[in-house]
Structure formats: C-alpha cells, structure tokens
Structure 1
Amino acid sequence: MIHRKANRTTSRYIAACLLVLILLSGSARITAYAAVNVPDTIRVGLFLNLPSRNFTSLTPAATMQSTAGLSIAWRDPQFTAAIGSAAPGETVRFAMDAYRAIVLETADLNGAIATLKKVQTSSSAAFLTKLTKAGKPVYQVSEGIYSTSAAAGTALTKWKSAGAANGVAALAAPKVGGPWSLESGPYGSLNDAQAAADQIGVAGLDAFPAVKVVNGAPAFYVRIGQEADAAGASALQPAAAAAGGLNVRVPAAGDPYALVRQDMTLSGAAGAPSFLYAIPANAGVVLRAEPAGDGTIQLTERSKRFYRGAMEMSVLANSLAVVNEVNFEQYLYSVVGAEVGSGWPPEAQKAQAVAARSYAVASGTGFQIANVVDTTLSQAYNGVGSENANSTAGVNATAGEVLTFEGKVVSAVFSSNSGGVTADNKTEVWGSDTGYLAGGISSPDDGPQAGLLDWYDVALASGQRGYVRSDLLADAGRNAAGIPVMTVTADSTAVRVRPKVESSADPIARLSAGTIVYPIKKVLENTAYSWVEVPSSPEDLLASLNKYVKVTGPLQTLEVTGRGPSGRVTQVTANGIPLVLKSPDSWRSALGGARSTLLSIEETGRMSVLGENGTTRELPKEAGSLQILGADGASRSADGQNVFVMDASGQARVVTPKPSFILSVKGYGHGLGMSQYGAKKLAEQGNDYRYILQYYYKNVMIEKDADA
C-alpha cells in the first residue's frame, strides 16, 4: 500500500512538472547562465607605465630578497627555465639594459661611492657596477634608464658640468653607455661566463656574463661592450676576438638576453655585490622571482613590503614593469585587510571580501600585463603587512563567492563613505548605466562621528578665522550689533585650521580663558563622513581646474550650479561661465583633490554691497575700495582685512578682502556601490553579509565558483 501510494504521488508530481514546463515553454524562455569561474591566481601591477589607464608607477630597479631564498627563472609563453637563484636573505636586483650616462670609471671604490652619493641627491636611477679589467676590479658609476642615446647624452653633459666625479682618479672618460654589444659563447655555466668576461676584460673591454634560453634550456654568454649604437659595438670585434672571445659575433637586433651585473649600489664598500639582471627594452624578456615554499618576497622599492607569490619583471612602454602573481584568495587577504579595519564586524569583512573578489574578477586584464594594480585605482593591496586574522577569516568564509548580474560577474565598486546616500553612476560618477549600481540608496555612514565633539567655525577679533572644539566655548549671548558671541573657557585654547586636532598643522592662534570669539556655524569634526578643507586660494584652484577644463583667470567666483539625484556636483560655474567635465566624478580632482563630490563651496570674498546712493556692487567681480560706516558716523576702509558681516537673513559670516574658497564635503570617495562605513553599521545592526551586499548592489545574485 505504502509503495503503491508513493508511486502514485511520484507520478502526479511528474505530471505536474510536465504541465508547468509546457505552460512555460509556451509563454516565456528560461535564461540559463554558465557557472562562474574565479581564477586560481591574479596578476597585480606594482610598477607599470600606463598613463592611458591613469597609472604611472615607475622604478629604475627592483630589489628583492626572501628569507626562504629565491629562484630566478626565464619565462616564455612556451616554457619556464631556471637561470639562477638567491640564497636566503641575499639581495637580487632587476633593471633595464638601456641607455645611460656613465659618469665615472675608477679603481677607487671610495671615490666611486662618493660620486654615486652626489648623483643620488638628484636622481633615483644611479648605479654602481663592479667589473674586472686588466685583472683588477673597476667601478662604474652610471645614471639613468633612458630610451635614447641623445637623452643619455644630455644627462651626461649635466653630470659633467656639475662636477659629479671631481677629485676622483678616472680610468676612462665619461661616456654614453647603451645596450649595443657583441656576444661571445656559449659557455657551460654562469661561472664560466663570468670567468670569460674577466679574461676579455684584460684587454680593457667592458664585459658581462649574460643568460638566455635556447631550445628550452638556459645558455650562458658574454656581452662585450655597452655602446650607444651598432657601429660602436661592431668596432670592438677585433679586440674582443684577440682577447679570447669565443665565436664573437654581432647578435641579431631584438635578440633576447638578460645581462648579469655585479651591482654595489646598495651594498657600498662593506657589502658584497648583488646580482643585477638587466633586460633589453624590445626583446620581450620576462624574468620571474619565486620564493621557496610558503616564503614571501620583500620588494625594497615598494616601501619594503613583503608579498606572497612570485614577481615578474619585464619591459612595458620603455619602463621596467613589476607584476606580483599571487594566489587569488591570498591576494584578498591583503585587500580586505587594507580596505576595512581589522576590528570591524565579521559580516562587514565578508561583504568586503565578496565585493573585492567580484571587482577583481570583472577587471579582466585591465592593465595589459596585469589584472589590477595595487592602489585604489583598483583596490588597495599592500602585501602581507595588511593581512590580519579577521580579514583572512572573512575571505575564507566566502571563498569563491562573487556577485553576478545577468550571468556575469559584476564590477562591484565601493567607496569608503558615501556621505549618507549612494551616487547615481550615470549622472554623478562615470556616465554609464548599470542595472546593479543604483543611486540614491540611504546609507548609515555617520559611524565615524560616534563619540566625537562638534566644533565651531569662529571669527576672532583680529579678523582671523578658524575652528575651536565646542567643549572649549560657552555661549555669551549677543553683542550690541546683535551678533552672537562666545567666550573661551580654558587657557591656551587652540584655534585650528580644520575642525580636527592635527599634529602636522600648527594652530592659527592660542586663546586665553575669557577671550571673545564670534561663532559662524557649528560643524562636525573632520572624519571620513564629514570634512571641511582649509581655504583654497584662487591661484591654486585655477591651476587645478585648468588640468581638466579651460578657465580664464583670475578666478573670482566659483559656485556649484548643477547637482545630480543624490546631491553630488555635476556642474560648477567659474567667473560666471558654466563648466562641465567628461566625467562628473572628475570634479574631485578638478577641485584640488576633494574627498567627494557631495560638497558645497563657500566663496569668502563674494558679497553684494549696497551703497549710500542705493546702487548695488558685486564683489569681487566689480573693483573698488570698500568703506564701512561706523555707529559714530565715521567711515573707514575695509580693504586688506577680513570683515565680519551679517546678511539679510541674520546669518553672520566672514568676508575676505581677496577671494578664497572653502570646500565642505560629505563622504569619502566616488560614493558608488557599497559604502564601507555603511556596511560596518549595517553589520553592527545585526545584518549578514548577503543582506549588506544586496542592499547596495541591486538585482544581483551571490554565486560560488564552480571549483571552490
């Protein structure tokens, strides 16, 4: 009975399903999406020359070491071949084999170091190289990584004129060095190539071991000469052959190689030279440094940070490129740790992990040889130093999870603080329309203000203007003119340039108890939620604006004349002329680096003056002196000093004799997508990461990588 009943029930269920399918097939089509895929690794650009992507991060050399030791490999699309190694704690360097100014060649190491230090005072691309000539060590000081011989020649002239090598006994005249060389070999090992280079150096020739890969295996050679052109290299051939060079020849143009120099730039007189691998600009050489086991790599030129994974060095746009290839989830350990506080709630950590993972997957190869970069142009990535237990837990708890919209992983952009309301992408940020980045979402972003006191924007009797914390002032009513006044309650009270205690900025003044000040308005303390800038001069703002849009100076007036749905700036008018930028979010940069476009501009020099004849004059547009009539009937000039005035509505303000502009901002960042501080507050209110993500990103699904 039970068995037959089960069969009947199953049959009815199948029939019902078939009926539903028939009905659906006749009325709508079901869209099926492929499973999402999160790559195992990600490539992070640390040094790249990509001005078209607003990322220009340059270094003449990359210096690395690992406590686990490093393996150095040559990487081709077809194969990877080991070409060297560095012992635990041993430094290895990478640079371009390019044109440079060889400022000095000497046998005097101390003299070479002194010259190096002189060059380093005005150049970050100074090198000290050791080589052997006539059986003795010789030291060359060179400067620059130049793309042309002419540019290196100009630099050489400068260093000679500056007397960089004065007082040091030179073995050869300064010259332009370049990547043009002869080739000798092959030799059995790098040590054999070094011995051959020393032998060729007996004839006074510059000779360095080099490595390249032939048929998938490393091969070792000697590069002879560092000449500015092909003719200079060819002229060395008889002397190189006579010095014992093996199969000396002119290598083909574009032949790939890695020169191995003994570099003493960092070690000085006390330390041993480091291997420096120099690669040519146009040969497509890629070198890879990888630590043993779970070791990390320290990169000196990136603030001595430590990184998981491997480093790849190549040349992009005539500049050394350094890319960190790292496990995707381990990359997120650092990103989440850098983007949100370690003490933030676990659900906020998880929300950040999913958003960051989605953003990185959606980036593709947005930076040619890298998926993302390590700055907030993509998302902050500072290596293992940013990792913490909570960020790692948030990443691990959401492993492989991403946000999708219509079957595609979304570019889940986020900002620090949206100032209470998220931005509209189409009208207020980048001008595009997406179905998941909805603007106008109320965001609980005021968390940074918790426990902080308000400040007063005040004017002093001297006419100066600044900020005093509210607990240091007491209400004293109004003066005879009806203007509100307050008294200072403590000696040595600081008047600050911003509403925040900052050790980097000295107070405008210090006031004794009982001093009278004139409150203009009450403001929040500067945080990621609310920020008031110091007054900007018209000259500084004009220079900033002219990087984005042409404004004819001098800058006299500047006002917001267009706002989007969330209140963010879409248009600014300068000197009466409306200005529109390609991208509304560019107003952050155009206005001198404003933290957000949810802002207002106070024009301190602007006012309408009613004259004794009943005419109105607009300052600063109309010139002329300003006279004030006192209660005693006498007039005095107000030129050259701040004026404390009351407008028609009874609001007091300070007017400056020259135009200046004060920006008051809500939020921090573009305001699009998830607000990190808003996510923190939502988590504190008991919401999980899924709710947070779907609160900020509309119509999205949270899907998991098929292989996770």
Structure 2
Amino acid sequence: MTYRIRNSYGRTALLGTLLAAVTLGSTGAVATAITVPDTIRVALFLDLGSRYQLTTPVATLASDTGLQLALGGAVFGKAAGGQQVRFTVDGYKAKVLETNDLTTAITVLKKIQTGSNAAYVTMLSKNGKAVYQVTEGNYATAAAATSALAKWNTPTYTLGATTLTPAAVVGPLAVEAGPYASEAAASDALTKLGGAGLDAFLAYKSASGKAAYYVRIGQAADATALSAIQLKAGAAGITAKNADATGSYAILRNDMTVNGAQNKPVNLYAVGSGAALTASPAGSAGIQVVERSKQTYRGSIELSALNNNLAVVNEVDLEQYLYSVVGSEIYSSWPAEAQKAQAVAARTYSLSLGVGFQIANVVDTTLSQMYTGMGGESKQAIAAVQATEGEVMTYGGKPISAVFSANSGGVTADNATEVWRNVTNYLVGGIPSPDEGPQEGLLNWNRVVLESGKTGYIRSDLLRESGTMNEAGIKLFEVTGDGVAVRSSPQVVSSVEPIARANKGDKVVTLEVVPEYTAYSWREAPVTPDELLTAINKRAKTKIDGPLRTLEVSQTGPSGRAIEIKVNGQAVDVGYPDNLRGALGGIKSTLFTIEETGRIALVQSNGQTQEKTSTSGFQVIGAGGTGTLSGNYVILGADGALRAATTEPGFVISGKGYGHGLGMSQWGAKGLADQGYDYQSILLYYYKDVKIEKDGRQ
C-alpha cells in the first residue's frame, strides 16, 4: 500500500480546510436551539447477548460517606461509611451443602471458587442455631442449576463430607408473610420462622412511595417444594401466601466474605427479576464498585436483573460523566483546545446514541467511549467540559454521531467504503490529519539479520556502521553494547522476551530503518499462518479450509485503507471492512500492508516472472557449492533492496493509525491545537457542515 499524503500536499490541504472552517464561523457565537439532558445512564455490567455482554454475578458497593438504598423510590436500607454491601439476582442455585461449621463452609467455598466466581456462604438461624449454606451460581432454570449441582456435589468440592445436609437445588419460589408495620416486626416473624427450621429472609418492596417489609420463606425450586414450605409456615403460626417470583422485591441475606484469614458477614441483597434497586451516596463521596476494578463513580448505581444476569448502571450528571470521558480518552497534558474539542465530541456522541443499550444510554467501554469514573478525571478535563457546557454538534437539527478515533494515521477514513459502509454526510474521508505526535522524540529501529539468520529489531542508538561488508558486498553494522535485545517488533514490551541478544562488536545486516511502534506507525511481530487462520475464521462468514499459504490486501478504499483481503487467492467476507482489524488478530487500524515472507517472485531466463509461495527444497548455487534453502534467508532484489524471507509462509503486518479513522482524530486534534487552532475550528475541520449549538435551557 502506498500512503497518499505527502508533506507538501498535506500542509496545503490542511491549511485550506482550516481556513474554510474558520470562515464558517468557528470563533463566533454558538447557537442555542437544542435540549441537552441533565443525566446519562452508563452500563458498567450488562447482558444484551451477542450485542454486548459484560457480566458479574455479584456487585460490591461502598461509599466513604455511606450508602442509601431505595426500591421504587422508597428508602429501605442504609450502609455506614466504608461499609461494603453486595448485590446479586434472586434465581436458581446449586446448594452444595449446609453445615453448622463455618470453617467447613469457608473451606468448601474456597474450593468452589477455583471453578466459579459465583459461590456464596449464607448464614441463617434455624432451630436456634447458626447454619451456613454454600451455594453456587445464579441460573435461569432449575434444570440448569441441577446440571451445575452434579458438578459441585462431588468429594472434590465437598471434601467428602457425608454428615452434612444433602445437596439440593434452591430457587426463587417462596411464600410471603406481611406486610409488617416495621422492619423490627418483620424481624420478629423471621426469628419465629427460623426457629421452625425454615429458610427465611427479610424482604423489601415499595408501596405508595414507602418501604414495605415482608418475610420471604423458602427457596423452592418447584411447586411441590413450595406447598410443603407453606404448610410448615402455617404450622409455625405464620400465615403466608405464594410470593411473586418475578416481582419487584429485594431479599436481605447475611453472607460471609473471605478477607484474608478473617471471615466477615456482609449484607447481600438479592433483587427480583422485576426490581430496580438504587444505591446513592449518603454524602458527597462517590460509590466504589469493587468488581469494576474498584473504580469510584459519581451519581447513583442502579442494580437490576436483565436476561437473568445482574445489570449495574451508573446514573450520573451528564457533564460530570464527561469529566471522566475526556480524562480517560486523552492525556491531561494535551492543549486546552484539544480537551474542549474532545468534550464537545464526547457529549455529542453520547446524545446521538439515545437509549442505545436497552436500559442504558452508553456502556463504559470503547464500544461507546471510555469512562473510568472519578479516577479518570483530571483538572484539565473538568475545565474543558465546564468551558463547553451544553455544547453539541448538530446536523439537520439533531446531534451527530460524532465518532472519533485515537489516530487516523495521517488521513481520515471514508465511511461509505472503508468502515461501516453507510453514507454519513458530515463524516468525510480523505482529510489530512496531523497525527505524527506519537513519534515525537522517539528513536528509529533497525530491522536486522543476525549471523544466525534470525530477523528482528534493534534500536538505532545501539548500532553503528562497522565500515565493513560481507561476502555479498552488503554493508555491515555492529552492536555497541553487551546483551542488546533483538525484538520481534520495533518496541520494548517488558512482558515479551527478546528473540535474541547481541553483544558488543557483533555484526548484523540492516534491512531497513523503521519508526518505533506507536499509535501512528506500527509493525506487528511476525504472525504464523495458523495464528492468522484462527483469527480470520472467527470473523469470516465462510470458514477457510487450511492451510493458509498466502494473504494479501486485494482492495483499498479512497484513503488507502484495506477493504478486502484474499487468502490463498480467494476473497474473504468479514462483513464491514472495519472488521478486518479483528480478523487479523486485533491490529490497530485498516491502514496497513502485509509482507509475505514466504512468497518470492523469480525472474526466469526467458524474462518471465514466476511466483513461489514456498521455497522449501530450493537449490542455491554459491561460492561454496550447491545448498538447500531452509528457515530464514535474505534476498537482494533487482532494485538493490534487501528483503527478509522464509522458506515457509510467514506474515508481517505494518500500518498507520489506531482505530476506525472516522471523524476526529484525537492525536490530530492535539496537532491542530499545538498549531494554535481553537476547538471549534478543530471540530469543524473533522465534521463537515455541522453546527455547534448550546443547550437552549441555559
């Protein structure tokens, strides 16, 4: 692939487009003709099946200033400052055992946790004694829980215990007593039912905007078990009726958590499938969600059941949400105008999605935009959001889909042909973008061939010209230090071992000099045919029968991005062209080229060219006689350039940019800001024919 943006053209086009943007009024007053909502709903955990799935069986919340818990707007519980509270979904579970011995219960819990992240120890009072139930999972059906029980109810997990209460499936079916006048009255009934040997829990509902208190009796998995529970409750003097298994309720369980050597009780609320429980900070502190990397969030956290999984949604002030998005998406050291451009783009994009995720507007990952709570905020991001408060880009009176990417590799993508194949008038491809920022101050790397025949990368400052040549007349370089790492790609990755090490004075051949691996210019480590075949078949609509021998970019779009690849000469359908990133193992962009190390072109004596995709068994005549090629070797082409080759297929993917390349390039916005352009000029440069409007209510 040839990149079509040359410096002179790029600067001229860039200047002309920016002048046009300024002429359009980028520094003038912002119109006020749009309504911007006050809050936004951000899904932290959500199960929407194949569309989006990030789940947790339990969510653990805490706030330094305490929590207030509400159901249907009615406050029913509180937690002190720093006190953890847990939440899950009330469903079918595998009860592995029930015992009076906490040590045994915790030991079994730890054993089950080696194979499941949904294991619990629940403490109840039954027949005047504390008992501990070890359960696993949260299953949609009794049948699913029964299958799970077969796995867990073995000596491997139960430690061979035979004197404990037999394992069973428990479920959300229960009978219900109440409502009671107070939580204390409900607790008295709970004690009475526990004394009769029944599983009983405090339960909360909302009635006319106030908390209503109940006791939920039993954990039945079928109607027969439910009838027996109701009779036993009646014998204990408690009138109970069948409870709604799909209703809006929350059950309080006393669960034991393992914290080092200590076992601590913690309140766990199991929400019914129709419930939406809200946790709000009692003071000014945020809410920590332990399972979301212990991040802390402004606003409130809603917990509900969706598709039989726990949904965790952060409802937060829109502008405060943007504090974190801007701070998480770009560096705090970037110019203020780039920060403002990001703020307006992020605000606009979030509004364009509507309720894009069933019960949430956005998710907290890059599928929407990066959101990491209060920890992602910076002073610079907050200032940018406040300076642009309520400002949104519109087209035809509606917020635009203001998509952006980290780095467009010097030129923006064309949506109609290169990304998602739809026409969006304000997303214009082919716009030159000053994206070189990631390379500033970085050294180049030499791609070298070692005496062993291995090919890799050495940083340029660790090499120098030796003043000598090898037998083929090729200039040699020498290593300037001991233990110099030879890397598989031009970057230092501490978790990846070097492919070799070279010492001072060692001679190497330089094939080419390349930039360090960044978001602007990158080169992946050599990929094997098997690795590529596996990755491609995960995306290909028609699976490819191996082996993979050749891989090439067969079509490119207006900006030079790949829009089609061929494997073994056959085009591969992966749907949208942007899916090629995932199909090739998660490469950074589709602005790439493929070097096939196992394919060479031979010029024959008659002048015709013949391509070979495997050179195993080739005979080579040299000064020392005839030999057979194997492994790695170097070719001196007709143009005098050196090329690394292999006797079997191998592939090196190189490219520019990071992301889909549509709309604003974040690094490009920084480049423009560094040149003195304001945020409105930057936005109007990347998004064509749009207006910047302000919330009309302000």
- TM-score, normalised with respect to structure 2: 0.92
Alignment of 1:43 onto 2:41: yes
Inter-partner Cα distance in structure 2 for 1:342 and 1:261? 44
| Residue of structure 1 in register with 2:7 after alignment | none
Alignment of 1:597 onto 2:577: no
Determine which of 607, 612, 617 is the counterpart of 1:625. Answer: 617
Determine which of 233, 240, 248 is the counterpart of 1:256. Answer: 248
Determine which of 274, 279, 288 is the counterpart of 1:289. Answer: 279
What is the letter of the counterpart of residue 500 of structure 1?
Answer: Q
Determine which of 160, 185, 189 is the counterpart of 2:153. Answer: 160
Shift of 1:52: 4.1
What is the letter of the counterpart of residue 594 of structure 2?
Answer: I
Inter-partner Cα distance in structure 1 for 2:411 and 2:298? 37
Which segments of 5 or more consecutive residues in structure 2 lack a partner in the other structure? 1-30
Q: Aligned ranges for residues 89-488 of structure 1 at < 5 Å?
A: 89-161=82-154, 163-166=156-159, 170-245=163-238, 247-252=239-244, 254-266=246-258, 270=262, 272-281=264-273, 284-475=274-465, 476=467, 478-488=469-479
Inter-partner Cα distance in structure 2 for 1:568 and 1:618? 25
Shift of 1:580: 3.3
Inter-partner Cα distance in structure 1 for 2:617 and 2:608? 15
For the Cα contact (< 8 Å) 2:616–2:629, is it kept in 1? no
Any idea what the Cα deviations from partners look like across 1:408-462, whole Å, max 9, x if unmatched? 1111111000000011111111111111111111000001111111001111111
What is the letter of the counterpart of residue 61 of structure 1?
Answer: V
Shift of 1:268: 7.8
3-state SS of 1:35 partner: strand
- Bigger RCO (CA 8 Å, 6+ sep): 2
What is the letter of the counterpart of residue 421 of structure 2?
Answer: G
Inter-partner Cα distance in structure 1 for 2:603 and 2:452? 25
What is the letter of the counterpart of residue 127 of structure 2?
Answer: A
Shift of 1:101: 0.9
For the Cα contact (< 8 Å) 1:106–1:169, is it kept in 2? no
3-state SS of 2:184 partner: helix
Any idea what the Cα deviations from partners look like across 1:526-570, whole Å, max 9, x if unmatched? 111111111111111111111221222111100001100111010
For the Cα contact (< 8 Å) 1:112–1:168, is it kept in 2? no
Shift of 1:270: 3.6
Which has the larger displacement, 190-199 or 265-274? 265-274
Determine which of 72, 81, 84 is the counterpart of 2:77. Answer: 84
Shift of 1:609: 4.7
Shift of 1:243: 2.0
Shift of 1:356: 0.4
| Larger gyration radius, structure 1 or structure 2 | 1
Q: Aligned ranges for residues 24-39 of structure 1 at < 5 Å?
A: 35-39=33-37
For the Cα contact (< 8 Å) 1:34–1:407, is it kept in 2? no
Inter-partner Cα distance in structure 2 for 1:307 and 1:96? 22
Inter-partner Cα distance in structure 1 for 2:337 and 2:323? 15
3-state SS of 1:367 partner: coil
Any idea what the Cα deviations from partners look like across 1:155-180, whole Å, max 9, x if unmatched? 11111235212155754101111111
Inter-partner Cα distance in structure 2 for 1:624 and 1:604? 13
What is the letter of the counterpart of residue 251 of structure 1?
Answer: A
Inter-partner Cα distance in structure 2 for 1:662 and 1:691? 38
Identity in percent: 54
What is the letter of the counterpart of residue 68 of structure 1?
Answer: T
Alignment of 1:635 onto 2:626: yes
Inter-partner Cα distance in structure 2 for 1:96 and 1:490? 60
What is the letter of the counterpart of residue 391 of structure 1?
Answer: A
| Residue of structure 1 in register with 2:533 after alignment | 542
3-state SS of 2:279 partner: strand
Which has the larger displacement, 308-317 or 270-279? 270-279
3-state SS of 1:332 partner: helix
Shift of 1:590: 0.8
For the Cα contact (< 8 Å) 2:173–2:243, is it kept in 1? no
Tell me: CA distance 1:315–1:253, structure 2 relative to 1, closer, same or farther (3 Å). Answer: closer
Any idea what the Cα deviations from partners look like across 1:671-690, whole Å, max 9, x if unmatched? 11111011111111111111
| Residue of structure 2 in register with 1:498 after alignment | 489
Tell me: CA distance 1:557–1:86, structure 2 relative to 1, closer, same or farther (3 Å). Answer: same
Determine which of 636, 645, 654 is the counterpart of 1:655. Answer: 645
- TM-score, normalised with respect to structure 1: 0.91
For the Cα contact (< 8 Å) 2:258–2:264, is it kept in 1? no
Shift of 1:338: 0.2
For the Cα contact (< 8 Å) 1:104–1:170, is it kept in 2? no
Alignment of 1:580 onto 2:573: yes
For the Cα contact (< 8 Å) 2:94–2:135, is it kept in 1? yes
What is the letter of the counterpart of residue 551 of structure 2?
Answer: L
For the Cα contact (< 8 Å) 1:95–1:277, is it kept in 2? yes
Tell me: CA distance 1:377–1:115, structure 2 relative to 1, closer, same or farther (3 Å). Answer: same
Any idea what the Cα deviations from partners look like across 1:298-326, whole Å, max 9, x if unmatched? 00000000000000011111111000000
Inter-partner Cα distance in structure 2 for 1:700 and 1:348? 18
For the Cα contact (< 8 Å) 1:104–1:141, is it kept in 2? yes
For the Cα contact (< 8 Å) 1:488–1:514, is it kept in 2? yes
Aligned length: 665
Which has the larger displacement, 354-363 or 492-501? 492-501
What is the letter of the counterpart of residue 46 of structure 1?
Answer: L
Shift of 1:276: 1.1
Inter-partner Cα distance in structure 1 for 2:647 and 2:142? 54
For the Cα contact (< 8 Å) 2:87–2:303, is it kept in 1? yes
Shift of 1:610: 6.3
What is the letter of the counterpart of residue 209 of structure 1?
Answer: L
| Residue of structure 2 in register with 1:557 after alignment | 550
Shift of 1:404: 1.0
For the Cα contact (< 8 Å) 2:340–2:387, is it kept in 1? yes
Inter-partner Cα distance in structure 1 for 2:292 and 2:249? 26
For the Cα contact (< 8 Å) 1:601–1:662, is it kept in 2? yes
Determine which of 61, 73, 80 is the counterpart of 1:64. Answer: 61
Any idea what the Cα deviations from partners look like across 1:619-672, whole Å, max 9, x if unmatched? 336x8622222223x222223x21222223222122123212111120101111
Inter-partner Cα distance in structure 2 for 1:195 and 1:171? 28
Inter-partner Cα distance in structure 1 for 2:610 and 2:196? 84
3-state SS of 2:107 partner: helix
Any idea what the Cα deviations from partners look like across 1:71-116, whole Å, max 9, x if unmatched? 11112xxxx1112111111111110111111112111111111111
Inter-partner Cα distance in structure 2 for 1:97 and 1:35? 46
3-state SS of 2:153 partner: helix
Provide the alpha-carbon RMSD of the alignment.
1.9
For the Cα contact (< 8 Å) 2:32–2:695, is it kept in 1? no
Which has the larger displacement, 521-530 or 155-164? 155-164
Shift of 1:577: 0.2
